[in-house]
Copies of this chain bind each other. A is one copy, B any other.
């Protein structure tokens, strides 16, 4: 196939620096330059995975487990919303590396403000930060800090971000308890052998269906799939029910409000119960939309009440925006939909933000959060550039627009195929729909892929839509047309 695409120039002058073939640099010196160098449609040569991907999987299988590998990609040829695989199949991508690509799968941006040194030299940020580090944080992360938060800690990935946020909450909780008193001799010696009081019996309250990562602290708050959890030791921490809303929401307003109240009551009961057990809840962690667990939504009212419960019981409130953050719901952070000026004590992020990390309120500032790398400055540089593009091109408005088209289309398909589809839902392009069962869901994903659209699943029988922020209305229609064909052929 040819890689020569339809160029689309977005109101800006183009400046190309062809350096190696298949690679375009967009310079920051021409400050208003943004090129989306994209294909105009899917183009399929083989079933996916094709023969080349199968051959590579065999090869990689000699080196590591490939049970989860879908296919191999040609990232040099991939552009914007289109992912090209090793067999030359070109797919419209509504999964974007598990929701981790912000402004188009493989848009090449390059800033002259940072030298190659930024990419090859990785400092130990906690002890020897580069001279421009405060400025780069201000330019990148702090420019999108959630309301009420002026502090941020970077980390390497989502799990590390949540692990360290949990630690920050534990340390904050014990500091409150201890006051000005120094740690006792007993605390100091007992912690060295993992025993209380030095290693305290504190807990984090999480929700059934939640996903907060896979390292052992995070995993104790993850409750999405057996395969994530089985055989790994865990902590006896409380797990509250997450509301199961009924759709369409406007028909079940009363039932849904009751369901949310039931869950909140359970949260309070658990906090009391775990305190009585001697394992007080230091923090509550929740996703604004449960993603991996099946795209489960709750109302702003639910989250605001939960935040109040946390405050009432002296627990920190941690909003995990690893998947929902960076514009995908039409606001930069999903919690902005709650309309609160004090949404959380901690907000963690990763994926589309390119760097992991968490924002936090002043009170949660422990000296003891530390590791060798603590993130990577080059990611902040890329993030600055991504945020520039998001602002310049008003991509949040774009997301709202294309999300509306996507969800509207899903509603229509759902009414055409009531035996197959249900519970179409979403915010921005962060949309989902349920299939009638798991096998059907997997089969539909496979068929859609073979027609040129890459989708991902979540929960038991849900398809989650996670396009990049450069996904436009016409991409939504392109997907909906193909999806409609797949569903029509489905018995």
Contacts and interface: CB of A to CB of B under 8 A. Distances in A.
Interface stretch (A69-77, A331-339, A419-427): A69-77
A237 interface: yes
B100 A373 contact: yes
Interface in A407-442: none
B365 A70 contact: no
Interface in A195-241: 195, 198-203, 208, 213-217, 220, 223, 226-237, 239
A153 interface: yes
Contact of A163 (B152, B158, B216): B216
A73 B128 CA distance: 6
A370 B19 CA distance: 35
A332 B63 CA distance: 20
B194 A128 contact: no
A158 B371 contact: yes
Nearest to A386: B120
Helix, strand, loop or mixed for chain A's interface? Answer: loop
A108 B122 contact: no
Interface string A69-111: 1111111101000010010000000000110110001101110
A253 interface: no
Contact of A97 (B25, B124, B203): B124
Contacts of A308: none
Contacts of A1: none
A395 B131 CA distance: 31
A204 to B, nearest CB: 9
A120 B142 contact: no
Copies in the assembly, this chain: 2
Contacts of A3: none
Interface stretch (A38-46, A167-175, A242-250): A167-175
Nearest to A203: B233
Contact of A214 (B63, B67, B371): B371
A151 B59 CA distance: 12
A112 B116 CA distance: 13
A60 B216 contact: no
Interface string A141-175: 01000000011110011111001101100110111
B235 A233 contact: yes
A378 B376 CA distance: 13
Given A109-B120, A124-B97, A367-B65, A133 B19 contact: no
A129 interface: yes
B160 A127 contact: no
A64 interface: yes
B229 A199 contact: yes
A156 B233 CA distance: 22
Contacts of A101: 121
Contacts of A68: 126-127, 367, 370
A371 B67 CA distance: 13
A216 B183 contact: no
A30 interface: no
23 contacts: A20-B116, A60-B129, A71-B128, A72-B128, A75-B117, A75-B121, A75-B131, A97-B124, A97-B372, A106-B120, A108-B117, A108-B120, A119-B378, A157-B160, A158-B372, A171-B232, A173-B231, A194-B235, A194-B237, A200-B231, A200-B232, A227-B368, A351-B372
Interface of A: 19-20, 22-23, 25, 52, 56, 59-60, 62-65, 67-76, 78, 83, 86, 97-98, 100-101, 105-106, 108-110, 112, 115-124, 126-131, 133-134, 137-138, 142, 150-153, 156-160, 163-164, 166-167, 170-171, 173-175, 183, 187-188, 191-195, 198-203, 208, 213-217, 220, 223, 226-237, 239, 350-351, 354, 365-373, 378, 382
